[in-house]
C-alpha cells in the first residue's frame, strides 16, 4: 500500500511567511486597521476569511473581506517572480518520492499562488498531487484539507505523515488522525508546535532531510507518537 507525505508550502517548503505578513499588514493598514505584525504572523496559515476573523474579530464588517483579500493577493503577487524556496526543499521531496512516498502539497494558498510556489520549489517531478484552499469548504485547522489530499491519492490516514510549520497545520493533521511533523523555519516556536500535536520537530527541510531515517517519514508510519489532542 502506498504511503503519502503531505506538505504545507508557505513557511515549510518556501520562505514566504513574512512576505504574507507584510502583504496582509499593508492590506489591513490601507483599510484603516492597525494590527501588529507579530499578530499577523501568528495567523499565517489560515485561509483569508478565517485569518481576518482571527485578527479583526467576528464583529468586523465581513463585507470588507473580499476587498482585503484582494489587496493582499495583489501585494503578494508582486513577489511571484522571486519567491524563495527553503534550502533542500526540492531535494527533500525527491528523496521521499524516490523512497516510495507519494508527495502531496496541502496548502492554504489559492490556485493562483500555487504555480508560483511550485516554480520556486522546482520539484514538480516529485509532486503527485496538490490540495489548495479552493478545493475545500473549510481550511486549516479543520481536517478537510488533509482528508481531501488523502482522497486524491487514495491513502488512509495511518499511511500518511503531514509536514508543516504552523499550529494550524499541526491541528489539521491531528484532527485528520495523521501524524504531524513540525518545522521551525516558519517562525513558530517548538513548544507551540508540540502543544498543537507535532510528533517531531526539525529546524527546516535541510534538517529533516539530514535526519530522515530517524524521522516519522523514515521509520515507517504509525500512531505511537501521535498526540490526539484537538
- Which CATH number do you get for residue 57? 1.10.150
- Which CATH number do you get for residue 149? 3.40.50.1000
Residue 139: per-residue pLDDT: 92
Query: In sequence order, which ranges of 31-159 are alpha helices (DSSP H)?
Result: 37-43, 48-56, 65-77, 89-98, 111-121, 144-153
Tens-digit pLDDT profile for residues 155-208: 999 999 999 999 999 999 999 999 999 999 999 999 999 999 999 999 999 999
Considering 50, 78, 106, which residue would you say is the last residue of a domain? Answer: 78
Is 220 inside any structural domain? no
| 211 DSSP 8-state letter | T
C-alpha grid cell for residue 5?
507525505
Is 201 inside any structural domain? yes
Is 223 inside any structural domain? no
Q: 24 or 228: which carries more pLDDT confidence?
A: 24
Is 47 inside any structural domain? yes
**Closest listed residue to residue 109, CA positions, set 13, 28, 206:** 13
Residue 219: per-residue pLDDT: 53
C-alpha grid cell for residue 8?
504545507
Dihedral of CA 49/30/112/185: which sign? negative
Same domain, 152 and 176: yes
Enclosing domain of residue 158 = 3-15+84-214
Strands 198-202 and 180-183: parallel
Same domain, 167 and 127: yes
Number of folded domains that form the chain: 2
pTM score above 0.95: no
Rounded to 5, what percent of the chain is helix, strand, coil? 50, 15, 35
Residue 225: per-residue pLDDT: 36
Tens-digit pLDDT profile for residues 26-67: 999 999 999 999 999 999 999 999 999 999 998 899 999 999
Name the one residue in this structure whose C-alpha cell is 505523515: 161
Same domain, 208 and 107: yes
**Closest listed residue to residue 116, CA positions, set 187, 13, 47, 46:** 13
C-alpha grid cell for residue 75?
501585494
Is 224 inside any structural domain? no
Neighbour-count burial of 214, counting CB atoms closer than 10 A to its CB (0-12 exposed, 13-18 middle, 19+ buried): exposed
Same domain, 168 and 57: no
Residue 111: per-residue pLDDT: 81
Distance of CA 95 to the CA centre of its chain: 20
Same domain, 48 and 107: no
Amino acid at each position: 500500500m502506498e504511503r503519502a507525505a503531505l506538505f504545507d508550502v508557505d513557511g515549510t517548503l518556501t520562505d514566504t511567511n513574512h512576505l504574507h505578513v507584510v502583504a496582509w499588514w499593508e492590506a489591513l493598514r490601507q483599510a484603516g486597521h492597525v494590527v501588529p505584525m507579530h499578530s499577523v504572523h501568528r495567523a499565517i496559515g489560515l485561509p483569508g476569511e478565517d485569518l481576518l476573523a482571527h485578527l479583526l474579530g467576528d464583529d468586523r464588517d465581513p463585507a470588507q473581506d473580499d476587498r482585503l483579500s484582494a489587496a493582499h493577493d495583489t501585494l503578494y503577487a508582486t513577489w511571484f517572480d522571486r519567491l524563495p524556496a527553503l534550502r533542500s526543499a526540492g531535494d527533500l521531496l525527491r528523496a521521499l518520492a524516490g523512497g516510495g512516498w507519494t508527495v502531496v502539497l496541502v496548502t492554504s494558498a489559492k490556485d493562483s499562488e500555487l504555480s508560483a510556489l511550485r516554480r520556486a520549489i522546482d520539484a514538480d517531478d516529485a509532486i503527485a498531487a496538490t490540495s489548495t484552499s479552493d478545493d475545500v469548504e473549510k481550511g486549516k485547522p479543520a481536517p478537510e484539507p488533509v482528508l481531501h489530499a488523502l482522497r486524491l491519492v487514495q491513502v488512509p490516514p495511518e499511511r500518511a505523515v503531514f509536514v508543516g510549520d504552523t499550529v494550524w497545520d499541526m491541528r489539521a493533521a491531528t484532527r485528520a488522525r495523521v501524524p504531524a511533523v513540525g518545522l521551525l523555519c516558519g517562525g513558530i516556536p517548538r513548544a507551540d508546535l508540540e502543544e498543537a500535536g507535532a510528533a517531531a520537530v526539525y529546524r527546516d527541510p535541510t534538517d529533516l532531510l539530514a535526519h530522515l531515517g530517524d524521522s516519522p517519514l523514515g521509520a515507517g508510519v504509525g500512531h505511537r507518537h501521535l498526540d490526539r489532542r484537538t
